[in-house]
């Protein structure tokens, strides 16, 4: 089972360099084979409570909205603390935004549910280049040719990268001029859902701390 967050660990968005990197890790987690476990609040990028003695810092109340107690409870006060940033980072705000970490998570979760390629397909991880890499997911039919193929490109670095994507025969045999965007990180505004992208150059440009998932055609 793949798990980045849990009741025993500091929140992933507090452990890595930025909330954007935490979002990329969640996207990557949902591309990996097998079972994934997402700790509550990680889908919206919740961070550790500031200096808390009542509960572990990773166990703050779920930030549902910007109402009292972040919508977690209608009580005047609760024994479970609420992070002070709840008004700016909450489930309702992200749900009603055109682009958000929650929207990216929902797209990835739905895709994983619809297509077993993500959970059961073969996985090829490309070479790491300046904190940037690609991951390919595919299944093979009875004729041993790849059917559904997905290509994920991730940039955990601070500079834009032109990432080579022809690292495997699975990708080489695809029509790269008809790659379709099926998910992208909330800050990757140059990519949108179901956008058709020409990757026939053999590279994909990924900006700093961004990720994008393509579905490749035959």
Instruction: Set out the domains of the chain in order of their start, with CATH numbers.
Output: 2-111 (no CATH), 117-217 (2.60.40.1180)
Q: Single out the residue of 214, 67, 58 nearest to residue 134, CA to CA.
A: 214
pLDDT over 70 for what percent of the chain? 92
Cβ atoms < 10 Å from Cβ of 190: 14
Note the pLDDT of residue 176: 80
Q: Single out the residue of 65, 3, 66 nearest to residue 34, CA to CA.
A: 3
Q: Strand pairing of 175-184 and 132-140?
A: unpaired
Task: Check if the beta carbon of residue 182 is closer than 8 Å to that of residue 176.
Answer: no
Distances (CA, A) of 128 to 125, 165, 185, 211: 9, 12, 19, 14
Q: Strand pairing of 203-206 and 161-164?
A: antiparallel
pLDDT at 144 over 50: no
More confident residue, 217 or 116: 116
pLDDT at 169 over 80: no
**If you average pLDDT over residues 157-161, what whole number do you get?**
95
Note the pLDDT of residue 130: 92
pTM for the complete prediction? Answer: 0.90
């Amino acid at each position: 089972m793949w798990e980045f967050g849990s009741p025993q660990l500091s929140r992933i968005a507090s452990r890595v360099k930025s909330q954007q990197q935490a979002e990329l890790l969640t996207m990557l987690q949902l591309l990996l084979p097998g079972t994934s476990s997402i700790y509550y609040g990680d889908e919206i990028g919740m961070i550790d409570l500031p200096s808390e003695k009542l509960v572990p810092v990773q166990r703050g109340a779920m930030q549902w909205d910007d109402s009292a107690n972040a919508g977690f409870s209608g009580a005047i006060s609760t024994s479970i603390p609420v992070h002070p940033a709840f008004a700016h980072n909450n489930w309702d705000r992200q749900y009603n935004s055109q682009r958000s970490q929650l929207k990216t998570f929902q797209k990835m979760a739905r895709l994983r549910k619809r297509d077993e390629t993500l959970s059961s397909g073969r996985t090829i991880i490309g070479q790491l280049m300046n904190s940037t890499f690609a991951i390919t997911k595919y299944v093979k039919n009875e004729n041993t040719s790849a059917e559904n193929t997905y290509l994920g490109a991730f940039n955990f670095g601070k500079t834009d990268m032109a990432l080579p994507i022809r690292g495997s025969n699975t990708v080489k045999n695809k029509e790269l001029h008809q790659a379709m965007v099926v998910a992208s990180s909330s800050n990757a505004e140059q990519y949108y859902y179901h956008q058709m992208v020409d990757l026939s150059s053999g590279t994909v440009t990924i900006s700093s701390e961004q990720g994008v998932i393509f579905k490749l055609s035959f």
